[in-house]
Structure 1
Amino acid sequence: MSEVAAPPAPVAMDGIIADGAPTTSEAPTEPEYTSETLYIQNLNEKIKIDVLKTSLRSLFKAYGEVLDVVAHGNLRMRGQAFVSFASPEIAAKALKEVKGFPLYSKPMQISFARTRSDAVVKKLDADNYESHKARRVEHKKKTRYSNPLKQKLKAKRLATEMDGVVPTPAVKRPNVQMPDEYLPPNKILFLQNLPENVTKDQLVSLFSQYPNLYEVRLIPTKKDIAFIEYVDETSAGVAKDALHNYKLDGENKIKLTFARK
């Protein structure tokens, strides 16, 4: 996975922002420039990285080609990600419309990245890719130990150890369950909001319009849901895209997502 150099975390220290810009009482404004890559903060740190990346890609692909999604679970990158698009125009539209969207119950803070991602340079400026990558690696080496957040946490830990204070264990937060809309693709579909009088034959007739239907399973104790299984996830995806929000009884829209594995 290619990486993007993260902008320094804006940690306030004695009235000065860690990246050297003085603090002000004015509200932050969007930078005047744009790039193909968006820098996303305030992501839910409890979500697994692979699931988070899949969710971000699914969310942003509606705006255009997504070249890359970069996210890590280390101290410096926790709660952050980069999403790269094929053009600045796509990135600008995605920023405008998705900024503040509550992904996993936390509103995303989105801005333009300060540098181009590896994926963007490789696709749009291939001749300069090697030199770009070398500069990024050098920058990473120089800033590895100078991150303000890491320094602050280290100083706090050392002060605690010197005082002989035993840190209070962190309160374990409840697990955050991923919304159905962002589950990764698989061959089984989860069908919700069904009319209570729906029959298996009706569902078989509806979903057999799309190739490779394998099985329809109703839940006797809960008549408003069902599972639809196809031979492969590609076939399931085709049926999902075609029938999500379909009005089976002419009134209520059915909700169709990939099932949890």
Structure 2
Amino acid sequence: MTEISTQPPAEAPAAGPSTSAPPPATNGDAQQANGDVEMADGGADQGVQLPPGASEVLYVNNLNEKIKLDIMKQSLKVLFREYGRVLGVTAHRNVRMRGQAFVTLDSKEAAVKAVKEVQKFPLYGKPMQLTFARTESDALVQKRHPDDMEAHKKARLERKKQSRRDDPARRKKLAAKAAAKQAAETGAAPVAAAPTQRRIVQMPDEYLPPNKILFVQNLPDDTTKEGLEALFRPFPNLVEVRTIPGRKNIAFVEFADEQSSGVARDALHNTKFSGTTGAVMAQSEEGLKIKVTFAKKG
């Protein structure tokens, strides 16, 4: 797959992306989109038979939020039109819908193929996550039964209102306002809300800051220290490979500086290799994809 540039994409169709990974979890906030489609469990095409829940409408998330919205929408259109006619691409600037979009294709077969091949494709550096939608988009309603468009939009608006009413953060805010109003009317001191425990967000390994030491995971059971050394030796400034006694599936690899470790990390993350010889394997061969990230500091 030719990587799509950060400039508005050309009209030439893109090449086919790589094979799929399991469908991602859905995002409840996606119901706020135009078309207000609801998420369903997507799946890869099972031969000629459509998988359960297949739909012409695809929900796409984990998009790069730094890309301008019009450029992202055009990029998605160029990418997905390889699989069929793109009836519409919906994305919004509001906070709750950032990094998400809906793509409507002209057939379920085209959508199934797109889920299978585009899943995890790194658009602007972030692997996209795809699943099918449960409800029709505006573009699909317009194609199938345009006379129902007014009722469709009315139902979408009602779902949007209901979603906002059910939002826990909004309910909490309204309760606090009601308590303050009651306290003002009665002259009583407002009851302070109990402090909520701050949720600690665990940063994914892929986003840890640079470190001259790499953490290697998901290694094959037959991995040897010699094999790892052979894998990392082609990269400059290698210092040491450290295996863990009793843990064959992980190891640490140290370089002289962060720049050198970063080069090795970018080259070897999500590759397959022979644990004994250290040779890099073709992606089509049987084997585990190793995970190479910066080690945690401190």
Q: Give the TM-score normalised by structure 2.
A: 0.42
Q: Which has the larger radius of gyration?
A: 2
Q: Give the TM-score normalised by structure 1.
A: 0.47
